[in-house]
């Protein structure tokens, strides 16, 4: 099973229409994205809770790290730089945090609200190497913008 982004975006839009609570939105997005593709082994949010600090938010899959400093790992890099992190091999990423030993590749996207403020990162892990493409990143970024920073 591979994700059908057009259907996924429409489903998430219908489920989140009118909702403004960020945690409710994160829970819905994590669930829908996680179950849309067999490559997605862990799918969830880390929320900005203090300067330079992320804490676990809604997710699907095994346990995640409870907190991550902006200075550490792939999620920290996405939060610190504001740029998508597309990591084909987590073992080759300097400072990778092994929250789950099964993770082989990772896609992490910054999440911004309608004011442009960073509210968290969306982390998708795979137990397969090189599981993610630039198209995955672009499609998921569009969904995140649609949900958290609609025009």
pLDDT of 102 reads 82
Of residues 92 and 133, more confidently modeled: 133
Closest CA to 118 of 68, 81, 147, 65: 81
CB 56, CB 65: distance < 8 Å: yes
Assess whether pLDDT exceeds 80 at residue 96. Answer: no
The full set of domains in the chain, from first to last, is: 5-148 (3.30.450.40)
- What are 116-129's pLDDT values in tens digits? 999 999 999 999 99
pTM of the model: 0.95
Q: Which residue do the tokens 């672009």 mark?
A: 138
Using CA atoms, how far apart are residues 45 and 22, in angstroms rounded to an integer?
Answer: 11
């Amino acid at each position: 099973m591979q994700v059908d982004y057009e259907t996924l975006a429409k489903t998430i839009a219908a489920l989140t229409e009118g909702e403004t609570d960020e945690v409710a939105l994160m829970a819905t997005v994590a669930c829908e994205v996680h179950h849309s593709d067999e490559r997605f082994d862990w799918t969830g949010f880390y929320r900005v809770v203090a300067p330079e600090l992320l804490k676990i938010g809604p997710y699907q899959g095994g346990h995640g790290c409870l907190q991550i400093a902006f200075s550490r790992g792939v999620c920290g890099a996405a939060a610190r730089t504001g740029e998508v992190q597309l990591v084909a091999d987590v073992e080759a990423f300097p400072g990778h945090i092994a929250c789950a030993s099964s993770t082989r590749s990772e896609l992490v996207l910054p999440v911004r609200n309608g004011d442009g403020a960073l509210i968290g990162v969306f982390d998708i892990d795979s137990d397969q190497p090189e599981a993610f493409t630039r198209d995955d990143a672009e499609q998921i970024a569009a969904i995140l913008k649609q949900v958290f920073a609609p025009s």
